[in-house]
Amino acid sequence: MTTITGKHPKVTLLGAGPGDPELLTLKAVKALNDADVVLYDSLVNVEILKHANRALLVFVGKRKGNHSHSQDEINEMIVSYAKEFGHVVRVKGGDPFVFGRGKEEEIYAQECGIETAVIPGISSSVAVPASVGIPVTARGVAESFWVITGTTSDRELSKDVSLAAQSSATVVVLMGMSKLAEIAEIYKSVGKADLPVAIIQDGTKSEQKEVVGTIENILEISQNQGIGAPAVIVIGEVVHLAKGRNVVKEDWQLEDEFIFQNLNTLPFSN
């Protein structure tokens, strides 16, 4: 199969990272340089599109209550553009396989006989907490982390939040701001009202905003500070390690000297 221009149809699913254009991978830049068509989401920083200076740029973003195209339409567009023009680069914020429906698009293109490739991106689930000095794991503090979607396909809060709340793991919630009150109630119900929480809006971008509190007060704090989507919610003791916080909570015990020496930080009070 070749296009009307004689090119071989191909679809590349590309992760654009969390927002900072400098966090785009080198492989992603090369793919954008080679693109004939770029389909991009609303969470993609448009600055990265300068790397696709010879491509047709098509916005197919979806936000709550405002979908420019349905997922079925996007699938069809990916294939039709590939058949007509050649190399289609489908750009998604973060990583295309982390709540990005990238696998659905890959399978659809493959079933239509189109060659596909995947270029992973830096996921906001780890990069955004890191941007404010929060490690999702830290020896002596958190041995694991969960990454959960705050809103499922049926617009409900994921049941995994209830399971995660019972663990000692760091919990990172994506697309969860509209469910923040529900999340807080779940944690309160298992006796974790004092657990620290950080919310980072527009993480890694120049307009980034962040707030810190506890399960008990994070909803009020975020509302007072005007924090909204897109944002990453981080729940767990690792929030104590955020940079720029230097007030020591009296009952906090930093058990691992390695963390203190290498992060150059102190825990902070709620």
Which are the catalytic amino acids?
41, 62, 175
Contact indicator for 154, 251 with CB cutoff of 8 Å: no
Beta pairing, strands 145-149 & 196-201: unpaired
47-68 burial code (b ≥16 CB/10 A, e <16) = ebbebbeebeebebebeeeeee
d(CA 261, CA 97): 35
Amino acid code (one letter) for 244:
G
> E-strand spans in the chain?
10-15, 37-40, 56-59, 62-63, 66-67, 87-92, 115-119, 145-149, 170-174, 196-201, 209-214, 231-235
56-59, strands of its sheet edge to edge: 56-59, 37-40, 87-92, 10-15, 115-119
